[in-house]
């Protein structure tokens, strides 16, 4: 199934949001994909974000990949995840107008995964919880060069994927966040933060989990 990438602009709380949309005919759900930290060069073209989007498209979802504030054509300035959460919710609202009120999957990488834990909490509080979350290289605890991340609690069926050799967010940080929540973590042996040469494993893990 070939689905074309289309660039769209969504009106956000502080200006335009630059989004890559991949929408199959009659999607079974919406996948909102959040990219890594803009300060480190993160953008919606990041390879992990791209892999997550392609994985969901192959599962029949419409994938929406916004750029965070200050990246590409997205207006505003970096807001430590607070404004970014509002922006993700604005993109989700637009996606529902385009695709209908269908199930929503939240997926994110690194800083984007942290933001998606916040989006998930907001959706749950509003009485419209996400179908499921997929978090890769989740920013949790103290991350060198950025800050301390107080990552939100997520549902028990959340798919958490982390590399054993992650040099940006140590695996121990994620295990410390996951343990009180009885949350399993899928550890990819030898994978670094950006899953170099192991992106296919992200696709495989998510695809297998979705089919069960």
Quote the pLDDT of residue 212. Answer: 62
How much is the pLDDT for 3?
86
The whole-number pLDDT of residue 205 equals 98
Structure tokens at 122: 């907001």
Cα 30 from chain centre = 12
Q: What is the pLDDT of residues 45-89, one digit of tens each?
A: 999 999 999 999 999 999 999 999 999 999 999 999 999 999 999
Q: Which domain holds residue 178?
A: 5-210
- What does the pLDDT read at residue 135? 98
How many C-alpha atoms does 47 have within 13 Å on its Cβ side? 10
Query: Across-strand partners of 139?
Result: none
**Which tokens belong to 208?**
């297998």
Which DSSP string corresponds to 168-204? SS-HHHHHHHHGGGT---EEETT--TT-TT-HHHHHH
Among candidate residues 206, 189, 207, the one with its CA nearest the CA of residue 198: 189
Number of structural domains (the chain) is 1
* CA-to-CA separations, 56 to 78, 106, 133, 173, 208, in angstroms, rounded: 27, 10, 12, 27, 12
> How many Å apart are CA 187 and CA 32, to the nearest integer?
23
Q: pLDDT at position 1, please? A: 66
Read off the tokens for 82.
């607070």
Model pTM greater than 0.75? Answer: yes
Non-local CB neighbours of 47 within 8 Å, separated by 6+ positions: 194, 195, 199
Q: Which positions of the chain have pLDDT values less than 50?
A: none
CATH number, domain with residue 18: 3.40.50.1820
Instruction: For residue 14, give the nearest of 111, 79, 97, 92 by alpha carbon.
Output: 79
């Amino acid at each position: 199934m070939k689905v074309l990438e289309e660039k769209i602009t969504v009106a956000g709380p502080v200006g335009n949001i630059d989004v890559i949309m991949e929408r199959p005919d009659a999607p079974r759900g919406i996948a909102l994909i959040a990219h890594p930290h803009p300060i480190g060069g993160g953008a919606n073209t990041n390879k992990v974000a791209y892999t997550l989007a392609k994985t969901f498209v192959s599962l029949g979802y419409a994938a929406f990949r916004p750029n965070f504030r200050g990246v590409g054509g997205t207006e505003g300035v970096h807001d430590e995840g607070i404004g970014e959460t509002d922006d993700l919710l604005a993109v989700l609202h637009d996606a529902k107008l385009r695709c209908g009120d269908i199930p929503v999957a939240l997926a994110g990488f690194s800083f984007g995964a942290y933001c998606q834990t916040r989006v998930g909490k907001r959706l749950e509080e509003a009485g419209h919880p996400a179908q499921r979350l997929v978090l890769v290289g989740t920013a949790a605890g103290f991350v060198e060069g950025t800050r301390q991340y107080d990552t939100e609690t997520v549902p028990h069926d959340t798919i958490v994927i982390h590399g054993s050799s992650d040099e940006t967010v140590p695996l121990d940080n994620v295990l410390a966040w996951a343990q009180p929540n009885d949350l399993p973590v899928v550890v990819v042996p030898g994978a670094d933060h950006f899953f170099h040469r192991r992106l296919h494993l992200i696709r495989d893990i998510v695809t297998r989990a979705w089919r069960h």
